[in-house]
Structure formats: structure tokens, C-alpha cells
Chain A
């Protein structure tokens, strides 16, 4: 099985991060890899996964066989079309209604024509039970719905892998479990960070690790 994500000797370039020791890890295809860590480490790692930042040398970050840090500007945008991303803050465009928040990335990334994008956005909103909120602006959405909306946007382009940052911390456990199950059915490979114990994510994880100042120090169900 090939790796969806492969990090080697990773450290961020930006100074001032809590992340000082290099880490290495593999996330196999078809695996949900959940990391419990701090917001600062999470943000730094997931930005590397999306090619928004480059690792400090000699570290390398491979995603789906590509090394986003070494790609040119146009190539990195092409590469990112394989990713479904929901970071913190969620980054929903505040002056667009929810459905257009799903349509715009599909159309502007060259994935689909507007009519197809509209159909796909409606299908994803239906899948995550967000249709009643389709025409609401992000500022009018309750925090839990807003988090599910960010996941809907990540799922819309039918990505090969998901990159999710503490994705459902405002959502009740039962609803979160349902959303996560649908996400996993749609996209079997993901790297997910979480900032505190969150049972629905722990239940769905294929690999669960704790990442603190010593690196990845624990794995499996013992992480609390």
C-alpha cells in the first residue's frame, strides 16, 4: 500500500513554533491518521501537508507521491486539487452564501463548470444535511453548522485525501460521529488533528497518536 502522506525529519521553517524536534511519519492510503496535539503544532504540520509552507531542510513532506514544497506555483495549485482541506479558522468566505462557498473553489480551481459545480455542491450539502443553510452567509451559521460547512467544502471537489484541523470541536458527539462516518466513506485517507479528547474522532481513527514536546510519544487507544 502506498503512503498518502510521508513526512521525514519534518520541522517548520517559521521561527517561534512550539515544534522544535523533527518528526517522521507515514499515513498509508485508506487510513485515517488522527494526531492529538496543540493548535500551534497542528497549524504548522497541516500547512506543510497542503504545501502552504515548506519544511526546514533536510525535512521532506510527500503527499500522494508529490513533494509540494518543491513544486512551482502553478504545479502546487494543481497538486492541491487532490486535497480536501478544512483548517482553523475555517476560512469560509464571509461575503458568499454557503452554497457559493462550495461552488467557488470548484469553479476557480478548474474542477468543474458552474452548472456542474452547483449540482455537486447541492449533493454535498444534502449528504451532510446542510440544505436548510445553503443560502445563509457564514456569519449567520451557528458554530457547529459552520464547522460541518467547512467539511462540506473540503468534500466538494471529491478529494483523494482529507486534511482536517480539529474539525468538529463545536459539534455534538452524535452529530459529529455521523458526519465523520460519511467523510470516511467518501474519502478513505485523511490526516486529522485534534486539540482535546474527542471520542467520535478517536473511534473512527485507524491510527491515533499523541504529539507533544518529545515527538510522537504514544499510539493506539491509550492516548487520552
Chain B
């Protein structure tokens, strides 16, 4: 029993080590392929990037917007109720800035993008692997990282950065409306407390965090999609692995940004 547990731990550690090595090689290959991009493909490449932005950002606006409205209403009503109860309504802005704008907004946006676009990227690339599309292009001298991966990484980085800013803006606006309607907090009070807590550098940091999240989500989901074998049953497995990797990545990234802010 104990030996089995030790063996299972060892096996798990070995698998993790092998996956990490593969992921590191993949990251290196992605960077190298970005430097060796064929000039002839730039026009088609931009078209792929724009398609990715349309799918990941533009088409997701109603979904992300709805979630942002709900989150803004819930968090701000709850937070302002507590703040008023403890006579700390002047801290509301600081709370909103740190909880929603800096942390919850980027994290929730990234999670929504993982659910909507990360799964699509992993499933599409795994299906391409299963149906021989990647092998066929590779056999004809096309680097699959050029065609399948780089446009998705750039498109997702632009999309998540834009959606994060949108999410924060919609959340704060819906929070204002909720706070005014339910807690009767004035616009001046609300905006004043936000101004005290937020700096322009927050917007830059949030956009940067969104861009890194987006690039990471696309890269990890693409990595798992491309790793799929040749059986159709590997498609859902690749999607699951992609989602788990991407979730761990965005949570870790949130932690890193939080630590960096207070260093």
C-alpha cells in the first residue's frame, strides 16, 4: 500500500517533469518560430490574428459584459453595505480598485476566455492532429507554429487585454448604478473614492496582465492540442489538460502580480 503510494508519487513526478520539459521546449520553439516567420505569410497572418480577435474578443462581448454587470452589482452592493455598516464608506473605492479592477476583473476575464476560446483552441488543434492536417502541412514545409499557434497567441493577448479593460469598466459602471439605487451612494462620492484608490499605472498593469494571460492561455491550450495523439478520444483529453494548465497559469500569474505590487 505504502509502496504503491510512493510508486504513484514517483510516476506523477516523472510525468510532471516530462511535461515541463516538453512545455519548455515548446516555449522555446514558439519564440524561435516568431523570429523566423516567413515574410510571404505576413498578410495572411494578420488575417488570422484579426479572426482570432473577432472570435475571442468581439464575439465574447455580450457574454463577458453580462458577467461583468452581475459581478459589479453583487460585489459592489455587498461591499458598500458592509462599508456603511462599519462606517468605512470612504474605503469603498480602495476596495473596488484592489478587488475588482486589479484582481477579480483580470482573473474572471481570463477564466471566461479559457472557457470560451481556450477550449476551442485546444479542441481545434487536437482535431487537426487527429485528422492529419498538422502532419500534412508539416510534410509540406509549413511550420505549424507559424500557421496554427502564433496568430492565436497574439490574437488572444490582444483580446484578453481589451476584454479585461472592458470587464473592469462595465463592472464599475454597474456597481455605480447598483450602489446608487440600493445604497443611495452619490456619483461624486463613488467616483471620488475610486480616484483616490486608482492610479494610471493600474490601468497599464491590468492591460499588461490581460495580455500575458491571453498569450499564456492560447499558448498552453495550443500546446495541449498539438500534443494530442491520433485517436479521436484524445480531443476531449487535450481540452481538459489545456483548461487545467491555463487555469493554473492565470491563478499563478494573479499571485505573481499581487506579490510584485506589494514588494
- Choose one: A77, A93, A110, A112; the contact of B133 (CB below 8 Å): A93
- Are A85 and B139 in contact, with the CB atoms below 8 A? yes
B140 touches A93 (CB 8 A): no
Asked if B131 and A111 make an inter-chain contact with CB atoms under 8 angstroms apart, the answer reads no
**A92 with B136, Cβ < 8 A, contacts A107-B38, A110-B39 known:** yes
Chain B residues with CB under 8 Å of A77's CB are 138, 141-143
Please, which residues of chain A bring their CB within 8 A of the CB of B44?
103-104, 107-108, 114
Whether A59 sits at the interface, judged by CB under 8 Å, is: no
Whether the Cβ atoms of B128 and A93 lie closer than 8 Å is yes
Distance in angstroms between the alpha carbons of A88 and B127 in the assembled complex: 15
Given A104-B147, A114-B40, A109:B135 Cβ within 8 A: no
A153 CA to B141 CA in the complex, in Å? 12
Q: How far is the CB of B101 from chain A (nearest CB, A)?
A: 37
Q: Name the distance in Å between A87's Cβ and chain B's nearest Cβ.
A: 6
- Least distance between B63 CB and chain A CB atoms (Å): 22
Please count how many residues in chain A sit with their CB below 8 Å of the partner chain's CB atoms. Answer: 39
Q: With contacts A89-B131, A94-B131 known, is A109 near B136, CB below 8 A? A: no
* B222 smallest CB distance to A (angstroms): 16
Assess the A89–B132 pair: CB atoms within 8 A: yes
Nearest chain B residue, comparing its CB with the CB of A89: B132
Which residue on chain B has the smallest CB distance to residue A96? B133
Give the shortest distance, in Å, between B36 (CB) and chain A (any CB).
6
Residue contact B139 to A52, C-beta cutoff 8 Å: yes
Write the nearest CB–CB distance from A197 to chain B, whole angstroms. 25
| In the bound complex, CA of A167 to CA of B44 (Å) | 29
Cα–Cα distance between A90 and B40 once the two chains are bound (Å): 25
Question: Contacts A91-B133, A108-B146 hold; do A52 and B138 have CB atoms under 8 A apart?
Answer: yes
B263 at the interface (CB under 8 A from A): no
Interface size of B by CB at 8 A reads 26
Q: How far is the CB of A221 from chain B (nearest CB, A)?
A: 30
The verdict on A83 contacting chain B, using a C-beta distance below 8 Å, is: yes
Contacts A108-B147, A114-B43, A114-B44; A153 near B140 (Cβ below 8 A): yes
- Complex CA gap A92/B208 in Å reads 37
Within 8 Å by CB of B36, from A74, A81, A84, lies A74
Known: A73-B29, A89-B132, A93-B133. A108 touches B41 (CB 8 A): yes
Q: Contact partner of A105 among B127, B132, B135, B140, CB < 8 A?
A: B140
A91-B131, A93-B128, A153-B136 given; name 4 further pairs at CB < 8 Å: A104-B147, A108-B38, A153-B140, A163-B139
Instruction: State the B residues within 8 Å of A (CB).
Output: 29, 32, 36, 38-41, 43-44, 127-128, 131-143, 146-147
* 30 A-B contact pairs sorted by A residue (CB < 8 Å): A52-B139, A77-B138, A77-B141, A80-B140, A81-B140, A84-B140, A85-B139, A87-B136, A89-B132, A90-B136, A92-B133, A93-B128, A105-B142, A107-B41, A108-B38, A108-B40, A108-B44, A108-B137, A108-B142, A108-B146, A110-B38, A110-B39, A110-B40, A110-B41, A111-B141, A113-B40, A114-B43, A117-B40, A153-B140, A154-B140
The 5 A-B pairs at the shortest CB distance, nearest first, are namely: A91-B136, A91-B132, A109-B141, A80-B141, A110-B38
